[in-house]
Structure formats: C-alpha cells, structure tokens
Chains A and B, each alone.
Chain A
Amino acid sequence: DTAVSQTPKYLVTQMGNDKSIKCEQNLGHDTMYWYKQDSKKFLKIMFSYNNKELIINETVPNRFSPKSPDKAHLNLHINSLELGDSAVYFCASSQGARNTEAFFGQGTRLTVV
C-alpha cells in the first residue's frame, strides 16, 4: 500500500554508465516531481510533470531526462554518469500543482564510482 514507490532503493554504478530510476504513485495524483538531495542534505527540485506535461525543468544537465508515460509514473534516466551525480534522488507527487502537499518516495541513493 506504498503511496509513492521508487526503484531501486540503492544504485551503485561506474562513471560513464547510463541508469534509470523508476517512480510510481498510487494516490491518484496528477503532478509528480524529481528532487535531488546532496550530501549536505540540501533538497533541490529538478523536474515536475502535471498530467504528463513537463511544467518545471530546472537548470539540470541534459544528461538527465525525465519521462512520464502516464500520470502515475515518472522515471528518470541519466546518461554518462559523473561522480557529482552521487546523491539521493526523491520522487514526489501531489494532487494539483499549486500550494499542495508533496508526498515523497523513500529515495534512491545513487553512488557513482
């Protein structure tokens, strides 16, 4: 009965590889997000989709490409991974895209070696 679930929970990979993180929510929400939390715990938004349409695209390297096949899913693909990509990536969802609570997934800890 997990509300927002991400896979995998841990991901260790070598520099230069391509990897994907998947996210699914069963809350019936229409808006989904990707956040990055760095080693200093700083949370920063990367992308947001509302009804499968991209509505927030922060200054993120174009090696990061989100994809939303439907309202319940938002995946993140990362090409040519770099050491600086190591972080915890959180998926989140909300009902509506203005001033509403965001429900976070459990996070994916990505380690690039």
Chain B
Amino acid sequence: GENVEQHPSTLSVQEGDSAVIKCTYSDSASNYFPWYKQELGKRPQLIIDIRSNVGEKKDQRIAVTLNKTAKHFSLHITETQPEDSAVYFCAASMGNFNKFYFGSGTKLNVKP
C-alpha cells in the first residue's frame, strides 16, 4: 500500500514568516494530494489540493507544489498569522474510492 511521510512533526515560526511542510509518498500511482488543516479539538478541513497533472497550485497565502519524479509534495504558507496555528495533514490517493493515506501531521505554531 501507499506510505506517506510528513516532516517536520512540529514547526514554530514567527508571525509574518513563511512555513513549509514536506511530504513524500511511495506509490507512483498516487494522483491526488489534498492538504487538511485541523485546529485543536476540531474537524480536519481541506485547505488545498493538487492533482498529478499539475506541478503547482496557489490560493492566496497557501501554495502546494508537486514533484512526481521525486514523489514529494509540499505546502507553503506565506505571511503566517496566529490563526494558521493548527495541525496540518498531507494525504495521497490513487483515485480508488478516495482512499486517502494521511501523513502523520505537522503541528504549526505561529508566534505573534
């Protein structure tokens, strides 16, 4: 099965700085890569996703890049704000029934 590794497990940045979270996957058949944000005690929510036919996608302060050859993808958050503090999960799917394989999560702390 697919194996998704996520780094770092914790990340602390100063407000206004950028944050980068990296994930690698093992199965080249994976073709959909969503990122979910989970605030403390709340549900995971999709913040951005990318499909394998695209190398980069941006939505305001959030961007995701995908390198299919190296089998890794990254989340970039610019101009971080305290409300960005949360646990972020990457995931990979081969398109078979939305069977997401999640990374282990990154706890992002944005210090005001």
User: Which residue from chain A places its CB closest to the CB of B102 in the assembled complex?
Assistant: A43
- The bracket for how many chain B residues form the interface is 20 to 34
CB <8 Å contact, A98 and B44: no
Shortest A5–chain B CB gap in Å is 11
B46 touches A102 (CB 8 A): yes
Q: Determine which of B34, B45, B98 lies in contact with A97 in the assembled complex, contact meaning CB atoms within 8 Å.
A: B98
Distance of B102 from chain A, by nearest CB (Å): 4
Q: A98-B97, A99-B32 are in contact. Are A90 and B102 (CB under 8 A)?
A: no
Give Cα A43 to B102, complex, Å: 6
User: Does A31 count as interface, using CB distance less than 8 angstroms?
Assistant: yes
**A45 adjacent to B34 (CB under 8 Å):** no
Question: Which residue, A4, A33, A44, A100, has most C-beta atoms of chain B within 10 A?
Answer: A100
User: B residues bordering A, Cβ < 8 Å?
Assistant: 31-32, 34, 38, 42-46, 49, 51, 87, 89, 93, 95-100, 102, 104-105
The 9 closest A-B pairs by CB, nearest first: A99-B32, A104-B43, A43-B102, A97-B97, A101-B46, A55-B97, A98-B95, A41-B105, A104-B44
Q: A45-B100, A97-B98, A101-B34 are in contact. List 4 more A-B contacts (CB 8 A).
A: A42-B102, A42-B104, A90-B44, A99-B51
A–B Cβ pairs within 8 angstroms, 30 of them: A31-B97, A33-B98, A40-B104, A42-B105, A43-B102, A45-B99, A45-B100, A48-B97, A48-B99, A50-B97, A56-B97, A90-B43, A90-B44, A94-B98, A97-B97, A97-B98, A98-B32, A98-B95, A98-B96, A98-B97, A99-B31, A99-B32, A99-B95, A99-B98, A102-B46, A102-B98, A104-B45, A106-B42, A106-B43, A107-B43
